[in-house]
Structure 1
Amino acid sequence: MLFVEPVFLFVFLPLVMLAERISRNTGVTTRSTLLVTSGILFYAAWSWKYLCLLLIAIVCNFGISKLIHHDVVKGNVNQAKLLLCVAVVGNLSLLAIFKYLDFFLISFGFNSTLNLILPLAISFYTFQQVAYIVDVYRQEIKPPALMKYCSFILFFPQLVAGPIVNFKDVSRDLSQFEKSRNLVRYDLAIPYILIGLGKKLLIADPLGVFLAQQQLVMSIGETTPLLSILTILAYGLQLYFDFSAYGDLALGLGFALGIRLPINFDSPYKSVNIAEFWRKWHITLGRFLRDYLYIPLGGSRGSLKRTLLNLITVMLLGGLWHGAAWGYVLWGALHGFALTLYQLYKHFIRNLIHKHIKFTNKPLWLTQTSNGLSNVLTVSFVFLAWVPFYTEGVSDALMIWSSIFSYDGNVIVNANALYELYGIEIGELLLNITLGFTLVFFTPTSHELVSYSVRQWKSMEGSFFYSVLRHPLMLAIYTPIVMIAGKSLIVGPVAAFLYFQF
């Protein structure tokens, strides 16, 4: 079930919102059951069989967390550490079997594979539960009641594609929900949901139509320079808007239930260096890799050589987390290499420049020019690095890269050849790409737009109009508004979110 499907917008979501209102002040068990049941139904719409796998993983992780907490409190550190290792290895082994076993069998020359279907969201809920187990071991959190833990993992707005939520992020809001004290924020929920729907259905999916045509061309081992350039631009924008749309929808749905999820996306294409890009792209994955891999490896506490090695290791594993293909590994390696270059630049060149060149009052034009050039360089690298992420294979990535550097002729001639050879018309595509870049670089972010709408809403506080609009009965009007807006946006088949495949 997708957030942008009619069955979700017109059936599932209204029923959940109605149940949330009806269950107010009915007791902790009923409220927790609502969250757990909605998550189960949401996941079961994809597969009942793999729902059982998810539930088994939840029960096992909850049970072992209780044992770890007991041993830590009693001072049995070695026993707790052993249980922690068992839990982490068990979670990662489950992920490895379903996601990587066939990949490694093929890579090492085995002729037969298991052809296992990748369980939906296994990458996300595995990391989420590993983080929970580690936090319990570190005594940063205490194991909650089973139903609260289940509602934490099965909370449907973040269940299948993130953000990767730490228990401490939502523990208080889940407790408030159980006690019917959750503050539902329709003023935040509705704009986030509408913006997310618009990004997904009006920008990301139309770009995906062209990319489906391009994949058919690439499947026969062909491409053209113009086709390769358009592919790089279209995929970079499609992934941006598709991923940010899911993040907006997750935030909006969370606010609709009174549970604040962490922001997972913050205009990363406006970054002026690769380190800033990774602070703004898939923020919760970056946090997980930092807190549970990079820092335990030593982080930046050791020598510069060890810091760079840690960076490359983390990015390689981060690339592999996205998928069982060498293209993802190459993508991670490229970003690891870029981060090491940036660290070397900071350590040597920038410090040298600042040491010998002093600006008492740095001119504004110089700062703007420097930031502009840095942004162009960063975004150009990111878009080129998306190629192996898109192709998933190294040979296809090399074909696209080599193609773009062999460009000759003019755009019109190459566009005509593209249509004659493959039947691809680029007029509408160019409009979508132009629109995408305009929205990325010259318009406010989703968070800025929502903040503006909230300020306007609060400016009406105290008025009769404000009292009417925030009355719980207005849910009967708000829900149809979201449904009608969603229906008007859904003009064709709905594509799955790209991060569903990870």
Structure 2
Amino acid sequence: MVFSSLTFLFLFLPIFLSVYYLLPKKLKNFWIFVSSIWFYYCGQKQYVWLMILVIAVSYLSAILINRADENKKRIILAITVITFLIILFYFKYTNFIIENLEYITSEEYGINKIILPVGVSFYIFQAISYVVDVYRGCTPINNFVDMGAYIACFPQLIAGPIIRYNDISQYIDSRNRSVSIDQISEGCYRFCIGLTKKVLLANNFAGLSNLIFEAENVAAYSVLYCWLGAIAYTFQIYFDFSGYSDMAIGLGKMLGFEYKENFNYPYIAASITDFWRRWHISLSIWFRDYVYIPLGGNRRGLWIQLRNLFIVWLLTGMWHGASWNYILWGIIYFTLISLEKFWIRPERFSGIYSIIYHIYTGVAIIILWTIFRTQTSEEAIVYIKSLLGLNGNLFYDKVFAFQFKNYFLLFLCGVIFSTPIYKIIAEGKIGNSIYGKAFLSIILLLLTLSSLLYILMGSYNPFLYFMF
């Protein structure tokens, strides 16, 4: 079940919220837990047991850590984290290892492929953050239902944001959590923005990017047409993932939770480093707090810092999936960020140099999304060569002209809504005036109704980050 499905919008969500608001505070977490289990069951019933196992292990381990002396705490923490990583490794990388072994040995082992549990990377990282935070001094959750409501809470269960226990511990106990009319209103507003991003923008960009990336002979396409496909995917993945995050944050507000922002207009970034301060913020912070800093962070010499950065970016690539493309993608980001951090230092640039570096950043991000989108390293090389005109392909053709004309308004909307233009208007004098608020509300209502119409017409695409 996904947020942009008819079942969720017209059946699950209305029933869930109606019961949630009627229940007394002490039963709200129970309802969240039960409903979230059902939400997950509707999408992937064969792996409900795994999520419950992760919840149970987290719950028991945290209690044991809280009661143990310092030496035993470390042992319990290590066993728990290693257990979670083994689970994650088994489900995400077994197929990858077998495929590579079959390629190396030229033999087929006849082993059935393992189906990846939806959202496993997200809820296992959340569980790890919980036991580590308890080890560091946070008070553990003493009620299994509350634990289940934290890990399994359906708004952020399958595609984040990754909610760290330290950030949300004050909201876990339902007796301390209240929901105001303003929160419900803000939550609905944010949810509608996310739905519009996903259905009207991401899904339509997907139509163009899939057409180009999945073509049999990309090498024959013109340079500009390949760039059109790469830019379309750049917008698609942003509106898809940030749209889901908006919906998750909005749903969280409706339940009384305050989830942190996961995106901050990443495509206006002035450098690669700045991009990753703005993109998938919850993942970047997770790796910073639970991997980079424990390894030593910036406190040691150059080579130790480079080692720490390499480990983080290798793991970031692997977290996104079991593919050499993801690993390569992570290593390239490590290289570019290391160059910026220790040698280039783009924060010193101003004037024309800052503008040039800004353009370089945008081009680099688009090319790296090309590696991310293609299925194999061979496909990535062919596509990048087409972008650079190295396949003997034309620079311009009529197909590009036709598709650019068809998608021009969509790209214009992509530029507007991936930058703070709308936010500046909404929060400025125009947006804060009575007529301005009414106008923007009407626009959002019309966009939401258009999104629902698209869904009713069968315009469905699963969220990209479900695969991670």
Contact residue 165 and residue 284 of structure 1 kept, 8 A: yes
* CA gap 1:246/1:78 in 2 versus in 1, 3 angstroms: same
Q: Equivalences for 1:330-479 in 2 at 5 Å?
A: 330-345=328-343, 367=350, 369-406=352-389, 409=394, 411-413=396-398, 415=400, 425-441=403-419, 443-445=421-423, 456=432
> What secondary structure does 1:217 align onto?
coil
The CA distance in 1 between the partners of 2:97 and 2:247, in whole Å, is 35
Q: Equivalences for 1:34-433 in 2 at 5 Å?
A: 34-71=31-68, 76-109=69-102, 111-112=108-109, 113-175=111-173, 177-178=174-175, 181-183=178-180, 185-218=183-216, 222-226=219-223, 227-345=225-343, 367=350, 369-406=352-389, 409=394, 411-413=396-398, 415=400, 425-433=403-411
State the 1:180 CA deviation. Answer: 6.0
Contact residue 141 and residue 168 of structure 1 kept, 8 A: no
1:8: which partner in 2? 8
Contact residue 222 and residue 394 of structure 2 kept, 8 A: no
Contact residue 9 and residue 483 of structure 1 kept, 8 A: no
Contact residue 221 and residue 394 of structure 2 kept, 8 A: no
Unaligned runs of 5+ in 1: 355-365, 420-424, 460-479
**Aligned-partner residue type, residue 336 of structure 1:** F
State the 1:140 CA deviation. Answer: 3.0
> What secondary structure does 2:215 align onto?
helix
The CA distance in 2 between the partners of 1:199 and 1:85, in whole Å, is 41
The CA distance in 1 between the partners of 2:265 and 2:214, in whole Å, is 31
The CA distance in 2 between the partners of 1:126 and 1:450, in whole Å, is 37
> What secondary structure does 2:288 align onto?
helix
State the 1:141 CA deviation. Answer: 3.5
**Aligned-partner residue type, residue 312 of structure 1:** F
> What secondary structure does 1:119 align onto?
coil
The CA distance in 2 between the partners of 1:307 and 1:148, in whole Å, is 39
Q: What TM-score results when the alignment is normalised by the length of structure 2?
A: 0.89
State the 1:493 CA deviation. Answer: 2.6
State the 1:303 CA deviation. Answer: 0.6
Contact residue 192 and residue 450 of structure 1 kept, 8 A: no
**Aligned-partner residue type, residue 332 of structure 1:** G
Q: Number of residue pairs matched?
A: 451
1:266-313 CA distance string (max 9 Å, x none):
101111111111111000000110011111111111111221221122
State the 1:372 CA deviation. Answer: 2.9
1:406-444 CA distance string (max 9 Å, x none):
17655344537xx8xxxxx45323442333123324623
The CA distance in 2 between the partners of 1:163 and 1:449, in whole Å, is 26
Contact residue 61 and residue 133 of structure 1 kept, 8 A: yes
Contact residue 222 and residue 395 of structure 2 kept, 8 A: no
Contact residue 298 and residue 307 of structure 1 kept, 8 A: yes
**Aligned-partner residue type, residue 198 of structure 1:** T
Greater Rg over alpha carbons, structure: 1
2:442: which partner in 1? none
The CA distance in 2 between the partners of 1:53 and 1:400, in whole Å, is 38
The CA distance in 1 between the partners of 2:427 and 2:20, in whole Å, is 25
The CA distance in 2 between the partners of 1:391 and 1:484, in whole Å, is 34
* CA gap 1:451/1:415 in 2 versus in 1, 3 angstroms: closer
* CA gap 1:450/1:314 in 2 versus in 1, 3 angstroms: farther
The CA distance in 1 between the partners of 2:197 and 2:415, in whole Å, is 13
State the 1:377 CA deviation. Answer: 1.5
Contact residue 265 and residue 420 of structure 2 kept, 8 A: no
Unaligned runs of 5+ in 2: 436-444
State the 1:391 CA deviation. Answer: 0.8
**Aligned-partner residue type, residue 143 of structure 2:** A
Identical aligned pairs, as a percentage? Answer: 29
Using the TM superposition, name which of 33-42 and 181-190 deviates more.
181-190
The CA distance in 1 between the partners of 2:254 and 2:454, in whole Å, is 21
Please give the root-mean-square deviation of Cα atoms over the aligned residues, in Å: 2.9
Q: What TM-score results when the alignment is normalised by the length of structure 1?
A: 0.83
* CA gap 1:17/1:238 in 2 versus in 1, 3 angstroms: same
* CA gap 1:181/1:189 in 2 versus in 1, 3 angstroms: closer
State the 1:212 CA deviation. Answer: 2.5
Contact residue 189 and residue 254 of structure 1 kept, 8 A: yes
**Aligned-partner residue type, residue 47 of structure 2:** Y
> What secondary structure does 1:8 align onto?
helix
The CA distance in 2 between the partners of 1:265 and 1:291, in whole Å, is 18
The CA distance in 2 between the partners of 1:398 and 1:482, in whole Å, is 39
Contact residue 265 and residue 283 of structure 1 kept, 8 A: yes
The CA distance in 2 between the partners of 1:263 and 1:316, in whole Å, is 24
1:499: which partner in 2? 465
> What secondary structure does 1:165 align onto?
coil
1:13-53 CA distance string (max 9 Å, x none):
11111112211xx351x222111012111111112220111
Using the TM superposition, name which of 1-10 and 323-332 deviates more.
1-10
The CA distance in 1 between the partners of 2:239 and 2:325, in whole Å, is 21
> What secondary structure does 1:2 align onto?
coil
1:487: which partner in 2? 452
Contact residue 212 and residue 229 of structure 2 kept, 8 A: yes
* CA gap 1:442/1:125 in 2 versus in 1, 3 angstroms: closer
**Aligned-partner residue type, residue 46 of structure 2:** K
1:195-227 CA distance string (max 9 Å, x none):
111111111101111223224314x67552344
> What secondary structure does 2:43 align onto?
coil
2:441: which partner in 1? none
* CA gap 1:8/1:486 in 2 versus in 1, 3 angstroms: farther
